[in-house]
A = this chain, B = another copy of it.
Amino acid sequence: MNALQRLCKQLGLNFTDQALLREALSHRSYGTPNYERLEYLGDSLLNFVIADELHRAHSDLDEGDLSRLRASLVRGSTLAEIAREYQLGDFLLMGSGELKSGGFDRDSILADVVESIIGATLRDAGFEAARALVVRLYSKRLVNLPSAETLKDSKTRLQEFLQGDGHALPVYNVIEKTGQDHNLSFTVECVVKAQNQRTTATATSRRKAEQTAAQTMLERLSS
């Protein structure tokens, strides 16, 4: 059994067009054709199938929760985990420079190749086969979903926490900004007047600093 046959067996696929599967496994450092067009295709199919599965299984969730759940399932780190479960790195075709620098185990490349294999399956065997592959790759994760609540960012959770208690919204102020252009540092305060509480955080962007300050505030108010 050659490598491609072994991969097909692992993924439960029957590939008619072996050249297409090779294309899906070829990093751009390996030449042309490579996986980039198939990745574009597989990415959109993956997003749709996961959206569809979540929509059908969770009629209790609103579109915000559904979007956050989908984002957690299709983000690069989750795709890289899936690629490792199926040892996809062993089947990558790449240039020697990329190989030596460890490209076969790089999250971004592993994530790409999950999507390109999904895209190649669509082209080779049609929509139902590609949908079935996505459902197979995600079988555990579609059942053991994270709670929609934990996927909300800290500012959203703090706001909902305070509104639930009938309190006014928190206020965020930048209290210090240092550095220039690509080296900025923001210190932000989060103030909850009703409870007379104030937290601060420093980060490389205003948004990040606000999230951290909100997280600290949430921990303080919940304890």
Contact = CB atoms under 8 A, between A and B. Distances in A.
A24 to B, nearest CB: 13
A85 to B, nearest CB: 24
A189 interface: no
A67 B40 contact: yes
A53 B45 CA distance: 12
Contact of A52 (B39, B47, B51, B122): B122
Nearest to A42: B51
Nearest to A51: B44
Copies in the complex: 2
A37 B66 contact: yes
Interface in A51-87: 51-52, 55, 62-63, 66-67, 70
Interface in A186-206: none
Interface in A84-143: 119, 122, 127
Contacts of A37: 55, 62-63, 66
Given A40-B66, A40-B67, A43-B51, 20 more contacts: A36-B63, A37-B55, A37-B62, A37-B63, A37-B66, A39-B63, A40-B51, A40-B55, A40-B63, A41-B51, A41-B52, A41-B55, A44-B51, A44-B52, A44-B70, A45-B48, A45-B52, A47-B47, A47-B48, A127-B127
8 contacts: A36-B63, A37-B55, A40-B51, A40-B67, A45-B48, A45-B51, A47-B48, A55-B119
